[in-house]
Amino acid sequence: MHKTVTELADGRELIYYDAAPGRDRGAKDRRPPERGRSTPEVRLDPATGDRVVIAAHRQARTYHPPADACPLCPTRGDRYTEIPAADYEVAVFENMFPALSGPAGRCEVVCFTSEHDTGFAGLTRERARLVLDAWTDRTAELSALPGVEQVYCFENRGVEIGVTLPHPHGQVYALPFTTPRTAKHIAAAAAHRATTGRNLFEDLLAGARAATERLVLSGEHWTAFVPYAARWPYEVHLYPHRRVPDLTRLTEAERSEFPGLYLDLLRRFDRLFDGSRPTPYVSAWHQAPARGGGELALHLELFTVRRTADKLKYLAGTESGMDAFMNDVAPETAARRLREAAG
């Protein structure tokens, strides 16, 4: 991997990731700088102890632009975008409309490819590996920033999820707090250790590998399975066999195997339904907090809000109001269908 760090016209950082050196990354952002946006605020909900981010300026962010005005495509001619180069492999830049910024953290956009009409599932293994390397680099750099407690790499895909830019991309959030879900993981792991003397996540992986009805696919270093108490219609967790806290601790062998398995998994999601349109999903890396996360194990959680070809899973009264999930698809059925969706 070769990394080139530069700046956009308004001072935001832009980073190019290339498979090899030699690419010209000297193109300048010729747009006028935009300033003066409000700063997000992190507030504490005293009733729950959860943090809530107030980012009112995001109401003005770019919303479903036409393809010829996509801000994530390369700059070509007099059509200026967030990427000044005429082409790129993987590019990362600070979000123009961040949910977190300044002392309240940082938000970055990760563009997986310069090709507008594709998705992560359409990448080559080599490009998927380059994205993994970019995620790893951002995890290392952002974790070291003062005030950052957790780094969260994720991808939202599909209008059903709420995506407003169709160009294949994900995001990285450097959070000034530990997320509620991560805090629950840490507490559950501590309780499991106290009760059994073992690590919770190692036991979850071992249990899934033994209960083959919930297995989806596996390799020498990774296993993908549907969790026993899946919250979403089709939800898969992808674990490395060796417990590590974050992406920076993976070995070369683990990094090399990941792209093939992950691409296979994404393509199975796209084959789940009628195949006429891509399956919407959230893909979320769970990493230990930067200042120590107990026994939390790195893993990726992938899920879709689609429960049939023409029906979505909405977060209604119980889920949105009480955080009590109710799933319409049995985890064992979901795993079987994903196994059958192999190419």
User: What confidence tens digit (pLDDT) does each residue in 103-144 have?
Assistant: 889 999 999 999 999 999 999 999 999 999 999 999 999 999
- 215-218: strand order across its sheet: 2-7, 13-18, 90-94, 106-111, 169-175, 150-157, 281-286, 299-304, 234-240, 222-225, 215-218
- The tokens for 138 are 């951002």
Task: Write the pLDDT tens digit of every residue in 138-172.
Answer: 999 999 999 999 999 999 999 999 999 999 999 99
Q: Which of 158, 131, 130, 180 lies closest to 64, judged by CA?
A: 158
Tell me the pLDDT band of 274, cut-offs 50, 70 and 90. confident
Residue 35 pLDDT exceeds 70: no
Tell me the pLDDT band of 257, cut-offs 50, 70 and 90. very high
Query: Is the four-CA dihedral 321, 304, 287, 218 of positive or negative sign?
Result: positive
Active-site positions? 169
Give the homologous superfamily in CATH for domain 181-340.
HIT-like (3.30.428.10)
Tell me the pLDDT band of 275, cut-offs 50, 70 and 90. confident
Which CATH code for domain 2-178?
Answer: 3.30.428.10
Q: What is the pLDDT of residue 36?
A: 56
Residue 282 pLDDT exceeds 60: yes
Question: Average pLDDT, stretch 10-21?
Answer: 97
Q: What is the pLDDT of residue 291?
A: 86
- The neighbouring-strand residues paired with 3 are 17
Q: What is the pLDDT of residue 277?
A: 83
Mean pLDDT of all residues in the chain?
95
| Domains 2-178 and 181-340 fall in the same CATH topology | yes
Question: Average pLDDT, stretch 163-192?
Answer: 96
The pTM assigned to this predicted structure is 0.96
Residue spans per domain, the chain = 2-178, 181-340
Angle between helices 252-271 and 125-143 (to 10 degrees): 120
Tell me the pLDDT band of 211, cut-offs 50, 70 and 90. confident
CB of 292 closer than 8 Å to CB of 197: no
Q: What is the pLDDT of residue 292?
A: 80
CA distance 241 to 122: 26
For 83-97, 243-257, 272-286, which range has the lowest pLDDT when averaged over its residues? 272-286
CA distance 268 to 234: 11
Q: What is the pLDDT of residue 271?
A: 95
Task: Write the pLDDT tens digit of every residue in 235-245.
Answer: 999 999 999 99
- The tokens for 216 are 């989806």
Percent of the chain surpassing pLDDT 90: 92
